[in-house]
Structure 1
Amino acid sequence: MATYRASDSKREQFRRYLEKSGVIDTLTSVLVALYEEPDKPNNALDFIKLHLGAAGLDPAGTEGLRLELADLQQKCSLLTEENKELWKRLMQYEALPDEKADL
């Protein structure tokens, strides 16, 4: 019986935590919006994510960001290669004064 009360106590603490942080109110408002939606969405989970702000950008915006990411990754690779090439050339020129000093 003692473990049952401990479990209820933890459950009650968790409920108060959710209530205090606004989670219960937010979830309630999203579920009410889903309930009041005249044309129920095919995917209720996507509806909830969208209304909680977890869905992020719309697919068109996401695709634009993916294209931008791919472009920036390609530019980064090109600049990395250019940097390596410039370091090689720099090392060649810095090695020359040492060789001249030996002569």
Structure 2
Amino acid sequence: MTSYRTFAPVDSKKEDFRKYIEKSGLLERMTLALVSLFEEQERPENAIAYFKSRFDPDSWETSNEAMKKELEQVRRQLEELQIEHNLLKMQMAKGVVEEAVVAEPEQ
């Protein structure tokens, strides 16, 4: 004989609350914050502070702005490095040509 678990019907008040937190996005944000904590390589000393920082939308905006500034700075740095790279390539090309001219025996 197989035994089946029967679940009591969900209380309508609880079901309404579940729908509310799901529609409002609260459940998703909490889940994302918890998943982020779970995926950390090293566990933070204060899990509550970590959770708050991941959960608080205001900190997201601040973090987002900081990331935008950092991205812009990295883009400028990349552009400068590309220019430097191109200059070095040109210098190397000239150096190789000059070395080839010097290395040729005179006739």
Write 1 or 2 for the structure with the bigger share of helix: 1
TM-score (norm 2): 0.47
